[in-house]
Amino acid sequence: MPDPDPFTQLRAWLEEARAVVGEPQVMTLATATAEGKPSARVVLLRDLDERGLTFFTNRTSRKGDELRANPRAAIALHWWELGRQVRVEGSVEEISLEESAAYWATRQRGSQIAAWASPQSRPLTDRAALDARVTETEERFDGQGVPLPPFWGGYRLIPESIELWTHRDDRLHDRVRYTREDGGWRSERLAP
C-alpha cells in the first residue's frame, strides 16, 4: 500500500519520474465552462506542496476564462517508463501576486516577452501578426526588465481526490484513491 499521505507518495513518484522521464511535469489539465462543457490541454506542473499543484498561464486564455467561471479542474499525469498514472480533482485558486512574481523572475526573457505579446487563445490573422506583436513588445521593454503582466500568473489545484495508478500485468492494475475527509485522507482501492 502506498504512503497514507498522497502528497508524500506523489512527491516520491515525481522524484522517481525525474530520474527516468524527460519532462515528468507534463500534465493534462481539464477545465469546463459554467455549463459543464469540458476542454483539456497540456500544461507544466511547476510546484507541488501540501496546498496543491501549481501551474502558470495567461488568465485571459480559454482555460483562464473557464476557471474564472467554474473554478474546478482535473489533472492527469502519465509516466510510461514507470507504468504510473496520477489523477487529481479539486477546486482551483489563483496563487498570490508575490508567488507569481517570484516564478516570473525565474523565466527566460524570451518567455516573458512571449507572455506579453501573445493574446493566448485568441484568433490571430496570421503568424506575421504574432511576430509584429513580439517586435513591439521587445521595443517597449528595451533596456529594462520585463514586468509581470497583470493578465498572467499561477493557479493552484487544491485536491479533493488523488488517484495513484500503477501498471500491472494482464490489465490488473493497482488503483488507490485518496479522498479528503475530516482534515485528513481516506484511501481505498478501486477495481482496474
Ligand X SMILES: Cc1cc2nc3c(=O)[nH]c(=O)nc-3n(C[C@H](O)[C@H](O)[C@H](O)COP(=O)(O)O)c2cc1C
Residues that are catalytic: 171
C-alpha cell at 150: 497583470
Q: Which of 55, 116, 165, 178 binds ligand X (CB under 6 A)?
A: 55
The minimum distance between CB 151 and ligand X, in angstroms, equals 12
Q: Which of 11, 14, 26, 118 binds ligand X (CB under 6 A)?
A: 26
Cα separation, 186 vs 75, in Å, equals 20
Residue 74 exposure: Cα atoms within 13 Å on the Cβ side: 11
> Interface with ligand X includes 43 (CB under 6 A)?
yes
> Interface with ligand X includes 41 (CB under 6 A)?
yes
The minimum distance between CB 188 and ligand X, in angstroms, equals 32
Could you tell me how many residues make up the chain? 192
Nearer to ligand X, 108 or 144 (CB): 108
> Interface with ligand X includes 44 (CB under 6 A)?
yes
Q: Which of 9, 54, 57, 112 binds ligand X (CB under 6 A)?
A: 57
Nearer to ligand X, 115 or 176 (CB): 115
Consecutive H or E run containing 174: strand 174-181
Pairing of strands 174-181, 184-189: antiparallel
Per DSSP, the three-state class of 3 is: coil
Nearer to ligand X, 153 or 159 (CB): 153
Cα–Cα distances in angstroms (integers) from residue 89 to residues 26, 77, 160, in the given order: 16, 12, 6
CB atoms within 10 A of CB 178: 25
Residue among 73, 75, 77 nearest 92 (CA): 73
The minimum distance between CB 147 and ligand X, in angstroms, equals 18
Site size for ligand X, by CB under 6 A?
14
Per DSSP, the three-state class of 126 is: coil
Residue 73 in contact with residue 67, Cβ under 8 Å?
yes
> Interface with ligand X includes 56 (CB under 6 A)?
yes
The minimum distance between CB 44 and ligand X, in angstroms, equals 4
Binding mask 115-144 for ligand X (x = CB under 6 A): -----xx-----------------------
Residues of the shown chain interacting with ligand X in the complex, contacts defined by CB under 6 A = 26, 39, 41-44, 55-57, 61-63, 120-121
